[in-house]
Every structure is written in structure tokens, then in C-alpha cells.
Chain A
Amino acid sequence: MLSMTMMPAAIVNGLMFGAIYALVALGLTLIYGVLHIINFAHGALLMLALYATFYLFSLAGIDPYVSLLIVVPGSFFFGYALYRWGIGKLAHGRDQNILLITLGLAIVFENGALFLFSADQQTIDVPYAYESLDLGFVFLALPKVISFFASLTICLLLWLLMAKTDMGKAIRAVAKERQGARLVGINVEHVFALSYGIGIACLGAAGCLLLPSFYVDPSTGNIFVIIAFTIVVLGGMGSFVGALVGGFIIGITESVGGLYLGESLGQIGISLIFILILLFRPTGLFGSKV
């Protein structure tokens, strides 16, 4: 059977894309873990990161991988400022307000992009786009391999940041015990904004890593945000390991599903996983018990 011999290739391809999904989901799960809200602007902000990478390449000729150095810090500061002086101020301390504001921001960003950048799909043409690695049973596009390892590296760095630094510890403290955090002298509003900024920085990285093998238009983000949300639910809301493992599972599901059911139906598997998780393990794979 043809599809059996193609199975390993589909799995490896799924892993490659899963790493990017994990990166997007990591940002979402971090923001959820600390702020206890779903960031509905996640997809729109990923779209903005993709456009930033696109224009840095098309206008300034900066390679997307070099752009990481600009777009990631840029996304962090944008996210930080957006929360500190936008979302946080407008929310007046109510979580449900944050939810509505991020939803509103998503609409503003998407329509702003539509107005400024038009609805056309944009791609970039980098010399290495069609280079590939031969693993014997599969040819892997070079950009996907790079994005795979870069995503894993970023996940590892983020884990180190959270586990080893005072900033990371403060973020974890605020996630579980806001008042206790205030009483040891942590500026909670600052930590909220930091977490939001780091979450958006993950999107900045995802944008740079995606663009060489993907496209951007004002609604690109939506593809990813639904998948990222599924990953966060699958892995467990707020769980880092969950986001990583969930990313790989979803990447492989999509890729293998595509192999058997065709590209357009491949995503059925993702929805199926989403429903099954909600039915049988609502806390997710690595989520804590309620």
C-alpha cells in the first residue's frame, strides 16, 4: 500500500510543522496560564509578525532568519506595551474585559491589515526555499528543518527562563498566587505585561520561521489560532510541556490525516482530537486536576 510507505515521511513532516504550532501554542498557553484569559488577538498578532517579516524582506532585503533578531524583540515590546498601556488599562481588573478587548483588537488588526496591505496572499522568494535534505525515506524542505530546530531551541530557552531566572519565577508565582506575589514585592501589572510580551515574542519567532515556506494575508493567523487553541486544550491549559507535545501530536495528525483523506480533509483529525479530549480528559494531557 502506497500510503504505508509514505507514513514515515508524513510523520516527519508533521513533526516539522508541529514545532511551529507548538511555538504559537506556547505563547497562547503562557498568556492563559498567567492572565487566565484566552488571547483572541493571538492569530492577528501572528499575522502582524508575518507582515513585519515580509516587509523587512521585501523592502529592506533582510533575510527572515536574520529578522528573528528584529521581529522577536519588536514583538516582545509591542506585546508588553499593548498590555501595559492598552489591554490592562482598559480591562479595569476584570478578566472578562480582557477577553473582549483581545477579541476587539483582533478585528481591528485584521481589518487594518486588509486596508493597509490588501487581501492578496504574499510570499517571499528566498534562494534556499526549495533546497531539501534527503533523509533516505523523505526529502525535507530546508526551511522546515530550520524552523523545527529553531522552534525547539526557543522552547528550551523559554523553559530555562521560566525555571531558572527570577523573572520566570515571578511569572510562575503570579500565575498561581497574585496576592502572595504582590506581598513579596512583585509588580503584578509588570509581570502580566511581561507574560503577554513573551507570548507575543513567540509569535514573532513563529512569523520569521514560517514565512520562507508559507504565505501571509490578513486572515492567515486564524488558521493557526484554532490549531493552537486545540493544542493548548490537548496539552492542558497553561502547561508548557503540554504545548510542545500537543504541537507535535497535532502536526502529525494533520499530516497523516492529509495523507489518507487529502489536504482539505486532513484537519478533521484535529477537530476529532479536540472533541475527544473535551469528552474524556478535559484537563488535557498535562493539565492539573481542577
Chain B
Amino acid sequence: MLEVRGLEAGYGQVRILRGIDIDVADGEIVAVLGSNGAGKTTLNNNISGLYRPFAGSVRFAGEDVTGAASEAIVERGLVQVPEGRRIFPNMSVRENLELGSYRRGKPNRAANIARVLEIFPRLEERLGQAAGTLSGGEQQMLAIGRGLMAEPKLLILDEPSLGLSPLLVEQMFALIRRINDDGLAVVLVEQNVMQSLALADRAYVIENGAVTLSGAAAELLENADLKRAYLGI
């Protein structure tokens, strides 16, 4: 579904990604793990069309989308829920969800909102409230809900656990599992290694802008290098 090949990217003269290869198959949860500054967000933003990569290619659903405009990429069903949520704080929860389907026809809108509210019932009582007044967990739910409104085929979640309490992280990951059970492919970009590996089918570990480890999540859980790098064991 998603094929990233030799992606090199950065900002201005600064090269952050040094040739990244990533694959995501239909219906998979793929974790992309790495510490702060490894290049995870840069990778997302280049896949999502916010920036143009220096080199390499991104193919989605059989089409080359390298350097395509972000709206064209959303249109194709590749949707990113960004780090820091980036919801519209001045607008109501309902308006945020409606804007999620900006590239989709209005006829599906009501049904999509109903589906999002079924997954995140907490949002229902907040529909008329300004999004900026929600708690951190609710804002993360709204950000994911807004992403789902775009009828994605692949959802990239950038650090959905950031700033959430351990209990909320657990709930959030259970909800991600549930979204995936409906057939949606998910790329989970995280620093939270253990929980992400428990959830994902496969994983990539990024360090200094390159993939250093990859494989089935269950195998990586047992990997000695990974344990040393992230758990200090």
C-alpha cells in the first residue's frame, strides 16, 4: 500500500533523512520507532506532502505521490494525524470533524461523524465546545477522529501517546487496534517502544535518519540491540 524508497529529506541545507525504505501492506499496523530527533516527523511530513523530499520516492496505492501536494495525498486516502494534534482550537469539535472530511463529499459526512462518535463517545458530549478547551486526551481523540473523517486507507499517527497518562495511552492503543480491525492500515510513529511493539505487526527503528532495525514486532521485542538502545538492559 505504501512504499517508501531511498527517501532523503531535510530542511534547507540540512539533511535529516539519509535514504529510508519503508513498506506498509493492506490492513497492517506498522510501528516506526525512534528517539527525539531521529527523523520520524520529517519522514511523516515528507510522505504527507508538507515538504518535498530531496531524493527517493513515495508510492501510495500503486501511484507515485513523491512531492505531491498535501491535498492530493489526503484525497488519495493517505492521512496523517500530526504530532501535537494540530486541531483547530478556535472551532467547535463538530467543525473540526467536518473539516476532516473537507476533501470528501458532504453526503457521507453525517455517517462518518456517527462512526467517529461511536469510537470516541467522549467527543459526543463535547460537539459544540471549542476544541481548544478539551483535555489533552480528548484533543488526541479529536485529532484521530478528524483523520478518520477523511475516509483514509492509511492513517499515520505521529506520537499519539505524547502527553497522555499511562492509563490513557493504554486506552488510546486499544482504540487504534479497533480502528485497524475495521481494515484500516496504520503507521504508528512512536517513542513508546514496548507498547507500540505489542500493538504493531511489524516495526522499523530509525536512528539518525536511517533505518537501523526492522522486522516482525514480536521478534523485535526479543531483540538484544533494541533492548540495549531503549531499555538500557
Contacting pair A185 B102 (CB below 8 A): yes
Pick the contact of B74 from A169, A170, A176, A184 — CB < 8 Å?
A: A184
Residues of B within 8 A of A175 (CB): 90
Number of interface residues, chain A, beta carbon within 8 A: 17
Contacting pair B91 A169 (CB below 8 A): yes
CB distance from A183 to the nearest CB of B (A): 5
Pick the contact of A185 from B75, B82, B86, B87 — CB < 8 Å?
A: B75
A172 to B98, CA, bound (A): 13
Contacting pair B80 A166 (CB below 8 A): no
Contacts known (A169-B98, A184-B74); A177 close to B150, Cβ less than 8 A:
no
Interface flags, B44-79, vs A, CB<8A=1, else 0: 000011100000000000000000011100110001
Contacts known (A169-B91, A172-B91, A173-B91); A183 close to B82, Cβ less than 8 A:
yes
Contacting pair B102 A184 (CB below 8 A): yes
Residues of B within 8 A of A183 (CB): 48, 50, 70, 74, 79-82, 86
Contacting pair A179 B50 (CB below 8 A): yes
Closest to B72 in A: A185
CB distance from A193 to the nearest CB of B (A): 14
> Quick check: is A86 within 8 A (CB to CB) of the other chain?
no
Closest to A187 in B: B71
Contacting pair B102 A166 (CB below 8 A): yes
> Quick check: is B100 within 8 A (CB to CB) of the other chain?
yes
Contacting pair B150 A176 (CB below 8 A): no
A184 to B147, CA, bound (A): 7
Residues of B within 8 A of A177 (CB): 86-89
A170 to B71, CA, bound (A): 13
> Quick check: is A180 within 8 A (CB to CB) of the other chain?
yes
Interface flags, A181-221, vs B, CB<8A=1, else 0: 11111110000000000000000000000000000000000
The listed residue with most A CB atoms (<10 A of its CB), out of B79, B91, B99, B150, is B99
A263 to B87, CA, bound (A): 50
Closest to A186 in B: B102
> Quick check: is B103 within 8 A (CB to CB) of the other chain?
yes
Pick the contact of B102 from A170, A176, A179 — CB < 8 Å?
A: A170
> Quick check: is B146 within 8 A (CB to CB) of the other chain?
yes
Contacts known (A179-B86, A185-B150); A173 close to B80, Cβ less than 8 A:
no
Contacting pair B98 A185 (CB below 8 A): no
Contacting pair A176 B50 (CB below 8 A): no
Residues of A within 8 A of B28 (CB): none
A187 to B69, CA, bound (A): 8
Pick the contact of A180 from B71, B79, B82, B150 — CB < 8 Å?
A: B82
State which residues 148-190 of B face A: CB under 8 Å.
149-150
> Quick check: is B23 within 8 A (CB to CB) of the other chain?
no
A170 to B74, CA, bound (A): 15
Contacting pair B95 A176 (CB below 8 A): no
Residues of A within 8 A of B81 (CB): 183
A183 to B80, CA, bound (A): 6
Contacting pair B91 A185 (CB below 8 A): no
Residues of B within 8 A of A169 (CB): 91, 95, 98-99
A165 to B89, CA, bound (A): 18
Contacts known (A172-B88, A176-B90, A179-B86); A185 close to B80, Cβ less than 8 A:
no
State the B residues within 8 Å of A (CB).
48-50, 69-71, 74-75, 79-82, 85-91, 95, 98-100, 102-103, 146, 149-150
Q: Give me 27 A-to-B residue pairs in the complex whose CB atoms sit less than 8 angstroms apart, sorted by A's number.
A: A166-B98, A166-B102, A170-B99, A172-B90, A173-B88, A173-B91, A173-B99, A176-B88, A176-B90, A177-B86, A177-B89, A179-B50, A180-B82, A180-B88, A181-B88, A182-B49, A182-B50, A183-B81, A183-B82, A184-B102, A184-B103, A184-B146, A185-B70, A185-B75, A185-B103, A186-B71, A186-B99
State the A residues within 8 Å of B (CB).
166, 169-170, 172-173, 175-177, 179-187
* 18 extra A-B contacts, CB within 8 A, seeds A169-B98, A183-B82: A166-B99, A169-B91, A169-B99, A170-B102, A172-B95, A173-B88, A173-B99, A175-B90, A176-B88, A177-B86, A177-B89, A180-B85, A180-B88, A181-B88, A183-B48, A183-B80, A184-B100, A185-B70
Nearest first, the 5 closest Cβ-Cβ pairs linking A and B are: A180-B86, A185-B74, A185-B103, A185-B71, A182-B70
